[in-house]
Amino acid sequence: MKKRHVLAAIMTAAMAVSALSGCTAANSAPTTAAAKEAAAPAESKADAAPAAEAGSGTWPNGAVQLLVPSKAGGVTDIYTRNIQNYLQSATNGNFATVNYDNETVGYENLRSAKADGSTLLFQHSTMICKYLTGAIDYNPQDSFRVVGVAANMGSQAIICRPDAPYNTWAEFIEYAKANPGQVTTAISTNGTTHFIFGQVQQNCAVVLNMVECSSEADKLTNVAGGIIDVANCSLGNAKEYETAGKLKVLGVLGSGQPEANYPEWEPITDVIWESYIYTFAPAEMDDATAEAVNAALKGIPENAAYCEAVEKIGGTAMYLTVEEAQKHFDDTMASLSEVAAGLGINIR
């Protein structure tokens, strides 16, 4: 039976949810997972060589920019740099990862780029969340072409400070019920974490105080320092900080199944969240170039170095054809749209 992807969303301030007797059956949706390892410095656009030739059916024919609509060191950046390493090894091409602190600027640079394979962008389902909630004005289905899927991002940890008055996910939910609006949770407004904790509110009949805190480094610092009560982060960083006594792990958010590399952490079943790294190209990219880019990505699941790198941050390497990748993205858009509508935040 096909798993139904579901997301939930939250208003910028704490959102009250209709009273429920307990946590309902979990819904599912595309996830974000955080990253453990620090990323290398980003290369600038000025370092890129001449563009590839459009429509040739071969790729790359010149230097390629891999755009990341977030800061260096974040989870999407780390996935992209591992993809860059793979592509350089597999094609002997010249690839440069380019980061944008402003997510929208990253999208705009892809939208305005030549559709010749010289510019790609890597992102997860937060792009859909931003569109559905009005944070970006253009429909990504029309503005971009999906030419591949490089990874299932896997699970992420839900963390709190070491002296928090709860030690498990169940204890956290009970505390949140008893203290409506008092527990602060880190979110990226209109992004995936906004949806995740919104689903927690809806499914578990709690009221949380959402505060803007989107980068992994900021989440770890603010939770460890007691400024924010609860946040999500990568499994690797969670283990490192837990071992150092800087935070506690309340559970693992993902498929609802135990995490093989961290069996000591309880899987969270109230909310199911899975997310994927999509490869985006300008909407006008022709079929021959799209197929050539996709063909270069085909060996990812068999590449030991790439698989090992993404497994360290909780992910799984994967490959889909151009047609399969586009359908996967379209299905995700449809499911997230349903959830957003049910929560009253879908403006589309």
Query: What CATH code is carried by the domain that includes residue 241?
Result: 3.40.190.10
Same domain, 113 and 174: no
Same domain, 146 and 213: no
The residues pairing with 277 across neighbouring beta strands, listed in sequence order, are: 151
Burial class (CB in 10 A: 0-12, 13-18, 19+), 103: buried
d(CA 14, CA 184): 9
Q: Which residue ranges in the chain fall short of pLDDT 70?
A: 1-57, 342-343
Structure tokens at 281: 């190209």
Query: Under a CB-based contact definition with an 8 Å cutoff, are residues 318 and 310 in contact?
Result: no
| pLDDT given for residue 156 in this prediction | 92
Tell me, yes or no, whether 257 lies in a domain. no
Three-class SS of residue 199?
A: helix
Same domain, 162 and 307: no
Tell me, yes or no, whether 66 lies in a domain. yes
Beta-strand runs (E) in the chain:
64-68, 95-99, 119-123, 144-152, 156-160, 184-187, 209-212, 230-233, 248-253, 276-282, 316-317
Same domain, 285 and 207: no
| pLDDT given for residue 189 in this prediction | 85
Domain extent at residue 202: 155-251
Q: Which of 221, 251, 281 is the last residue of a domain?
A: 251
Same domain, 281 and 237: no
Count of the separate structural domains present in the chain: 2
Tell me, yes or no, whether 81 lies in a domain. yes
Tell me, yes or no, whether 1 lies in a domain. no
Tell me, yes or no, whether 278 lies in a domain. yes
Same domain, 170 and 246: yes
| pLDDT given for residue 322 in this prediction | 98
Closest CA to 94 of 125, 59, 68, 58: 59
Same domain, 203 and 227: yes
Tell me, yes or no, whether 33 lies in a domain. no
Same domain, 182 and 234: yes
Three-class SS of residue 296?
A: helix
| pLDDT given for residue 57 in this prediction | 62
Tell me, yes or no, whether 49 lies in a domain. no
Which CATH number fits the domain that encloses residue 85? 3.40.190.150
